[in-house]
Structure 1
Amino acid sequence: MIADIPITIESIIPAQDRTFNPEIIGTVSTGYNETCRVKCIPNKNQFYVMGDKPIIKQMNTDEKLLDKIPTMSGTDLYDLAVTKEGYLVYIDKLSKYINIIMKRGEIGCLISLQEWTPLALCSSSIEGLLVAMKSSNSGQSKVVRYVDSTATQDIQNNSEGKALYSNPFCIEENKNFDIIVSDYDVGKVVIVDKNGKFRFSYMMETSSQRGMQDLHHVL
């Protein structure tokens, strides 16, 4: 049985793999005072970006603004993702809807939640969307896999029945199909496998590490 014991990044990633000198090959000004999320569009030199305004921008790496998409409610977003089919989906903070933007620009509700607040989402390489959410009543948190609008997987507790998440902030799926969630309140990253089985967790060293990268390792 795997115990849910936080471990350090040093104990799971060798020092030689943690040491690298990143090279800045270009920068893009998004026009936001605060840029919150960036999601690449598959097979294109383009990306969607969200910030401190209720507008999603579609841009390319040459800093050209291709489109501006206002949210349906006129309020801010929690998160956004791009599906394998290339559709943009986002979490509307006011309505708690997960909306989808079709290729013709039409916006529709893909997932409607009543007693749960969706906080983060990502597209899964296996199937559907992974959505991290928190109960509006009990304060419990969980991750749910949706295929279209149907929930097909629910991840909430470890094998001992203890809660895996407190307040999810970011979610990603890495190339091993592990599901990685950063927990804002406790400053912890929690990793489960594709079946929802707890693998390990570790404490984030600083508040700036509340994200992760879509690779074999996490930040």
Structure 2
Amino acid sequence: MQQTLNALNDMEESNKVIPTIHYSSKNEQFSKLPPKVNVSMPKFIRKQITKEELGTLVGKLTPFSTTLEERVFTAKKPNTSVRELLNGPEVLNTVNSGHEDLRSVSCLNEEQIWTSGWTADIKCFHIQGVLQSTIRTKSGKLTSDIAVDRDGALLYCDWITGTVYKVKNDQTEKVITLQGWKPKNLCATSSGDLLVTMYSDDWTQSKVVRYSGSTVKQTIQFDEEGQPLYSGNTYNKYISENRNLDNCMADFGAGAVVVVSQAGKLRFRYTGHPSPINSKPYVPLGITTDSQNCILTADRDNNSIHILDADGQFLRYIDNCDLDHPYGLCVDSDDSLFVYEYLKGNVMKIMYLK
């Protein structure tokens, strides 16, 4: 349009007639206005969405919850001199208990041991072989295990009635009575607690329960993935506590030593050590620990004792003492090892540390 106006202005000022004669009006061309542009603003259209769909997109907030976590106190350990293993363990003496099918032995002190077998009698012997006292179980039924607590009291399992008894100063009292479970093996801990291994009445579950007196303090049954820590059956599950306060169990049914921390967390499983001599499967029975934090476990079918360190590493065998079906173990305060032979009814005192 501006160009047309300029051309008209030039013709008006010009003396030339021909451009004027030939001029053709462009009014028709400029009569049409340019198209009007209508701009619409964007709008947000909300979509209906369910709570479930929203949860999958952004996640969810768990509800507020509280739990109680048992805090573990670890007592200060007394200083202990380091002692090395003997190259050849030695049998110091042997006591014949007179028990049929000797099952348990527990050290009262460095001079006396308690023994029990497949009878209702629990016998205390001097280590030179002299019988000093006999206790008959309250029910007149056989006991599955015995232990001595830090005060010198005798504890025993009456697994048929589901009861644990305590004997002190010739007085017998019930400590624990179970419903739906049967007590099998015992360990009196350094803190004064009592560890009891037990199995369910239907023989499908096993667990370890920590008691303070008659009060349950802790139950250990499953690992962090919810799987059973122990085999579910009625077999012996002898148990001991080491200086780390770990619970060390000889799980006969699983063919393994199972060690869990004081908090109940699995530390390791030991399933035996290859040996050209020990050719039969490893089935642990008795178990004990010593001042060097070693774990000792009886290998009945191979007539030997396995010695492990606190982390489950194999150190050596005791297989030179002419053992015959070693079953239960205990260690006294001087680290002398007492091994009882199941079939013979003998208790052997063995020196294995320098």
- Which range, TM-score by smaller chain? 0.7 to 0.9
Q: SS of the residue aligned with 2:151?
A: coil
Amino acid at match of 1:22: P
Name the counterpart of 1:6.
Answer: none
CA distance in 2, matches of 1:185, 1:144: 19
Cα deviation digits, residues 71-129 of structure 1 (max 9, x gap): 111111110101111110100132110011121x1211110001111111110113310
Q: SS of the residue aligned with 1:201?
A: strand
Q: How does 1:165-176 map to 2 (within 5 A)?
A: 165-166=230-231, 167=233, 169-176=237-244
Cα deviation digits, residues 16-44 of structure 1 (max 9, x gap): x88842100111111113221110114x5
Matched, 1:124 2:189: yes
CA distance in 1, matches of 2:147, 2:93: 23
Instruction: Answer whether contact 1:187 1:210 (CA < 8 A) is retained.
Output: no
Amino acid at match of 1:161: G
Question: Are the structure 2 counterparts of residues 161 and 20 from structure 1 closer, same or farther at C-alpha, using a change threshold of 3 Å?
Answer: farther
Name the counterpart of 1:187.
Answer: 255
Name the counterpart of 1:54.
Answer: 120
- C-alpha displacement of 1:63: 1.0
CA distance in 1, matches of 2:241, 2:125: 24
CA distance in 2, matches of 1:178, 1:80: 20
Instruction: Answer whether contact 1:126 1:177 (CA < 8 A) is retained.
Output: no
CA distance in 2, matches of 1:20, 1:113: 45
CA distance in 1, matches of 2:163, 2:287: 24
CA distance in 2, matches of 1:134, 1:41: 27
Answer with 1 or 2: which has the greater Rg. 2
1:40 to 104, 107, 110: 107
Segments of 5+ residues of structure 2 without an aligned counterpart are 1-83, 274-280, 298-354
Aligned residues: 201
Matched, 1:79 2:145: yes
Instruction: Answer whether contact 2:155 2:165 (CA < 8 A) is retained.
Output: yes
Cα deviation digits, residues 117-162 of structure 1 (max 9, x gap): 1111110113310011111137221111100100101111111111
CA distance in 1, matches of 2:262, 2:255: 22
Question: Are the structure 2 counterparts of residues 157 and 90 from structure 1 closer, same or farther at C-alpha, using a change threshold of 3 Å?
Answer: same
CA distance in 2, matches of 1:117, 1:57: 23
Amino acid at match of 2:214: S
CA distance in 2, matches of 1:72, 1:150: 22
- Normalised by the length of structure 2, the TM-score is 0.54
CA distance in 2, matches of 1:40, 1:190: 23
Amino acid at match of 1:191: V
Name the counterpart of 2:159.
Answer: 93
Amino acid at match of 1:195: A
Greater helix fraction, Structure 1 or Structure 2: 2
CA distance in 2, matches of 1:118, 1:128: 16
Instruction: Answer whether contact 1:39 1:80 (CA < 8 A) is retained.
Output: yes
Segments of 5+ residues of structure 1 without an aligned counterpart are 1-16
Amino acid at match of 1:169: K
Q: SS of the residue aligned with 2:88?
A: coil
Instruction: Answer whether contact 1:121 1:170 (CA < 8 A) is retained.
Output: yes
CA distance in 2, matches of 1:126, 1:106: 23
CA distance in 2, matches of 1:58, 1:207: 31
CA distance in 2, matches of 1:21, 1:129: 34
Instruction: Answer whether contact 1:204 1:210 (CA < 8 A) is retained.
Output: no
Q: SS of the residue aligned with 2:95?
A: coil
Instruction: Answer whether contact 1:188 1:201 (CA < 8 A) is retained.
Output: yes
Q: SS of the residue aligned with 2:243?
A: coil
Amino acid at match of 1:141: S
Q: SS of the residue aligned with 1:185?
A: helix
Q: SS of the residue aligned with 1:73?
A: coil
CA distance in 1, matches of 2:113, 2:238: 18
Matched, 1:209 2:284: yes
